[in-house]
Chains A and B, each alone.
Chain A
Amino acid sequence: MSEIVFDNVWKEYGDQIVLEKITLTIAPRSFVALVGPSGCGKTTFLKLLLGDEAPTSGTITMDGVPLIAEPGPDRGVVFQRYSVFPHLTVLGNVLLGAEMARPLTARLFGAARRRAVEAARALIGEVGLSGAEDKYPAQLSGGMQQRLALAQALIMRPKVLLLDEPFGALDPGIRAEIHVLMKQLWHETALTVVMVTHDMREAFTLGSRVIAFERPRDRPEERERYGALLSRDINIWPPRIAGEASIFDPDRDDPVMPLGSGRDDLAPMQGAKP
Chain B
Amino acid sequence: MRWINTKPGPGVQLALMLAPFVLLVIAYGMGSAARLADNPADKLLPALASLTDAINRMAFTPDVRTGEYLLLTDTLASLSRLSWALAIATVIALVVGMVIGMLPYMRALLAPFVATVCMVPPLALLPVLFIVLGLGETAKITLIVIGLAPPMIRELALRVGELPREQLIKAQTLGGSSWQIALRVVLPQTLPRLLTALRLQLGSAWLFLIAAEAISADAGLDYRIFLVRRYLAMDVIFPYVAWITLLAVIMNFALDRLRIAVFPWSNLERQG
Interface hits, A14-65 → B, CB 8 Å: 50, 52
A137 to B269, CA, bound (A): 9
Kindly identify which residue among B167, B173, B180, B272 contacts A85, using a CB–CB cutoff of 8 Å.
B167
Interface hits, A65-86 → B, CB 8 Å: 70-73, 75-77, 79, 81-86
Kindly identify which residue among A86, A106, A153 contacts B189, using a CB–CB cutoff of 8 Å.
A86
Q: What string of 1s and 0s marks CB contacts (under 8 Å) between A138-171 and chain B? A: 1100000000010011001010000000000000
How many residues of B are counted as interface, with CB atoms below 8 angstroms from the partner's CB atoms? 27
Q: Which of B170, B176, B177, B184 has the most CB of A within 10 A?
A: B170
Contact A82 B164 (CB under 8 A): yes
Determine whether A97 belongs to the interface, using a CB cutoff of 8 Å to chain B. yes
Interface hits, A88-134 → B, CB 8 Å: 88, 96-97, 99-101, 103-107
What bracket does the count of chain A residues touching chain B fall in?
35 or more
A120 to B237, CA, bound (A): 61
A53 to B175, CA, bound (A): 18
Contact B166 A71 (CB under 8 A): no
Determine whether A87 belongs to the interface, using a CB cutoff of 8 Å to chain B. yes
Interface hits, B257-272 → A, CB 8 Å: 263-266, 268-269, 271-272
Residues of the A chain whose Cβ atoms lie less than 8 Å from the Cβ of B166? 79, 81-83
Residues of the B chain whose Cβ atoms lie less than 8 Å from the Cβ of A136? 264-265, 268
Given A83-B166, A156-B173, check contact A100 B265 (CB 8 Å): no
Residues of the B chain whose Cβ atoms lie less than 8 Å from the Cβ of A86? 189, 265, 268-269
Q: Please report A residues at the B interface, Cβ cutoff 8 Å.
A: 50, 52, 70-73, 75-77, 79, 81-88, 96-97, 99-101, 103-107, 136-139, 149, 152-153, 156, 158
Cross-chain pairs A/B with CB under 8 angstroms, 19 sampled = A52-B169, A70-B172, A71-B169, A72-B172, A72-B175, A73-B174, A79-B166, A86-B269, A87-B188, A87-B263, A99-B184, A100-B175, A101-B175, A104-B179, A106-B184, A136-B268, A138-B271, A149-B170, A152-B170
